[in-house]
Amino acid sequence: MVSGGLRVLIDPFISPNPLAEEVSLEGLSPTHVLLTHGHEDHVADAEIVLKRSGAQLVAPYEVAMWFGAKGVEDVVPVNPGGHLQLESGGHAAGVRVVGAVHSSTLPDGKPGGVPCGFVLDFDGVRVYHAGDTDLSMEMELIGRMWTPDWALLPIGGTFTMGYADVPAAMDMLRCRQVVGMHYDTFPPIAIDREAALGTVRDAGGELHLPAIGSVLETVN
């Protein structure tokens, strides 16, 4: 996510990802890296990106401390309920840490603490990144308190909610613009794209499934 001088990278899983072969780690220069939990498919490239860029890491406590022990210097540990400001180049974004219904184990098998999601406010444009989660009543609270303009939701099923759950999530979040994530990377989370698009469209929303490397733009 890019806004002014802020470049926010969330859950980088690039070099082991068969769908991201055209994405270069060397081309990434985030000001901040946010991690939702400790699973390998969410943290695989975090260490190398953080050390190369000097970006600030925001992550659940156990995940943040794990990376700190690996030599990542600018570490901000959080848990659901936390709130903070991301700042860079005279620009700022507010972040609220929210809960997620999932598990969290670090790549070496250590417990990863409590998984989370983030609500980010970029000058009035609010984006909810759910992380890996099931459909939950947490979304009702997020919709009531922050009413995100965009929701990034996992749609692959098996390990998270699936696309059939998106209409209920939209209603709770009071949000009609959804970006799908956590799908098609591996066979257990493969989806029928046309069915997914139709399910959300029939519920009065718009599901975006952008190609890797493409850009979605929004204005306040």
pLDDT at 127: 98
Each residue of 155-198: pLDDT tens digit? 999 999 999 999 999 999 999 999 999 999 999 999 999 999 99
Rounded Cα distance between 178 and 155, Å, is 10
- The DSSP result for the chain, as a single string, is -EETTEEEEES---TT-TT-TT--GGG---SEEE-S---HHHHTTHHHHHHHH-PEEEEEHHHHHHHHHTT--SEEEE-TT-EEEEEETTEEEEEEEEE-SS--B-TTS-B----EEEEEEETTEEEEE--S----THHHHHHHHT--SEEEEE-B-SSS-BGGGHHHHHHHHT--EEEEES-SSSGGG---HHHHHHHHHHTT-EEE-PPTT-------
Note whether residue 171 is domain-resident: no
Note whether residue 179 is domain-resident: no
Residues with Cβ within 8 Å of 104's Cβ and at least 6 positions away in sequence, in order, are 37, 38, 39, 60, 62, 63, 111, 112, 113, 114, 115
Q: What is the pLDDT along the chain (220 residues), one digit of tens a residue?
A: 999 999 999 999 999 888 888 888 888 999 999 999 999 999 999 999 999 999 999 999 999 999 999 999 999 999 999 999 999 989 999 999 999 999 999 999 999 999 999 999 999 999 999 999 999 999 999 999 999 999 999 999 999 999 999 999 999 999 999 999 999 999 999 999 999 999 999 999 999 999 988 999 987 6
What's the CATH number where 60 sits?
3.60.15.10
pTM summary value: 0.96
Note whether residue 195 is domain-resident: no
Full residue range of the structural domain in which residue 63 is found: 1-96
Contacts of range 208-213, beta carbons closer than 8 Å, 24 or more positions apart: 208/177, 208/178, 208/179, 208/180, 209/179, 209/180, 210/179, 212/19, 212/20, 212/22, 212/23, 213/22, 213/23
pLDDT at 82: 98
Note whether residue 70 is domain-resident: yes
pLDDT at 125: 97
pLDDT at 71: 98
Note whether residue 59 is domain-resident: yes
pLDDT at 19: 86
pLDDT at 49: 96
Total domains present in the chain: 1
Residues with Cβ within 8 Å of 180's Cβ and at least 6 positions away in sequence, in order, are 153, 154, 155, 163, 196, 207, 208, 209
Note whether residue 20 is domain-resident: yes
pLDDT at 216: 93
pLDDT at 26: 85
Note whether residue 111 is domain-resident: no
CB-facing half-sphere around the CA of 7: CA atoms within 13 A: 12
Note whether residue 51 is domain-resident: yes
